[in-house]
Structure 1
């Protein structure tokens, strides 16, 4: 059974109390292990792939960065001229993103800690959600996309963990740990299954596979 609120709270607990420093270091130029370097490189490549789905000039466009983390995507969107609403479930990651944003972009970005689907964030031209839906079941992803699409005039670009043998092995292994000891578990999805859940409008963009980072970029146009 899916439970969006329960998973969301678990993700918040993980990133706000357990993994903040790890993600701050990963999303920087600081030295990291060889394994984490492959993840960093994969995330950099994915960010570029997702940005390529939007116009090069975003001047005047209002973009939701749903699950902004430490703000790398936010900065790139602002650099293209967008007005960005950067939302993350973790207040600590929001604080890091605010601190790292160049002062020249401060007037273009609104930061908010909380639920990325909250209607209070307003309407958008486009939505980007990088690695922020990877912990949810298909029914929850569908509900999130539909809620966001109601307030977006353009496309929704997001990532999911693909259903590969490698990721399925990690998914199965994660279930062996006591629930209290687990980090949020990525849930791999087959495109066809997810497409049946979301209905018309889901399309493939591409896959990034870099060491321990394997992620599919998808686009939703309802």
Structure 2
């Protein structure tokens, strides 16, 4: 990956591990939150259910990578279905929170790792899910990451991206009004048409096809899921 990707990865890791760790822990819990964050929580819950719905109901004997697991909600649900889950995130703080939240009896089914989702030592998987973990990277970087993940994925790769919409552009403008220290790293919206073109022309992704795609919009949360599958 190029220097810009590595710099961006460092910014994201710093933000979620230090600046926003407490906020993220609260957002992904049952704790009360403000109106705006409540819409984000609701949107993320809907997106998680959508992605889980695209996975087999019975995941026994399957190995799944939760790429950018955050505080671990999706990893837990996949483990409930019998999957052997590797949950990786750049933030050691969020990994610590995720490990603490694992229900009794599921801890042996989930391995939490603080590190890079592209680490080759993670080996191969039947399914990979990257929920909102690629939204801060440029589209050309996203497809390179997807190519790296696809090389180690036997069946389906599910990911989300920020669609280019007027509503999302307005939210970005509002976000720039916050003090610099409180801003999350900017996301990189992309049209579905351009993303499909990049998927069709990126070495490492030529042997996978696009399956289902669906958008989730909830107040200040807008994200689109896409499925990559092997024939």
Partners of 1:219 and 1:96 in 2: how far apart? Answer: 28
Q: 1:35 to 1:175 in 2, by over 3 A?
A: closer
1:221 aligns with 2:229: yes
Partners of 1:45 and 1:184 in 2: how far apart? Answer: 23
Q: Hey, what does 2:135 align to over in structure 1?
A: 134
Per-residue Cα deviation, 1:5-25 (whole angstroms, up to 9, x for no partner): 111110000000100011111
Trace 1:140-179 onto structure 2 (pairs within 5 A). 140-171=141-172
Q: Hey, what does 1:49 align to over in structure 2?
A: 50
Task: Please give the root-mean-square deviation of Cα atoms over the aligned residues, in Å.
Answer: 2.0
1:24 aligns with 2:32: no
Q: 2:215 aligns with which of 198, 207, 211?
A: 207
Shift of 1:34: 1.3
Q: 1:2 to 1:178 in 2, by over 3 A?
A: farther
Structure 1, 131-140 or 179-188: larger mean CA deviation: 179-188
On the 8 A contact 2:171/2:220 being kept in 1, the answer is no
Q: 1:84 to 1:160 in 2, by over 3 A?
A: same
SS at match of 2:128: strand
Shift of 1:168: 2.1
Shift of 1:138: 1.1
SS at match of 1:103: coil
Partners of 1:127 and 1:153 in 2: how far apart? Answer: 9
Structure 1 gap ranges (5+): none
Q: 1:152 to 1:173 in 2, by over 3 A?
A: same
- What is the TM-score when the length of structure 1 is the normalising length? 0.94
Structure 2 gap ranges (5+): 201-205
Partners of 1:139 and 1:49 in 2: how far apart? Answer: 25
Q: Hey, what does 1:191 align to over in structure 2?
A: 192
- What is the TM-score when the length of structure 2 is the normalising length? 0.90
Structure 1, 126-135 or 195-204: larger mean CA deviation: 195-204
Q: 1:72 to 1:2 in 2, by over 3 A?
A: same
On the 8 A contact 1:171/1:187 being kept in 2, the answer is no
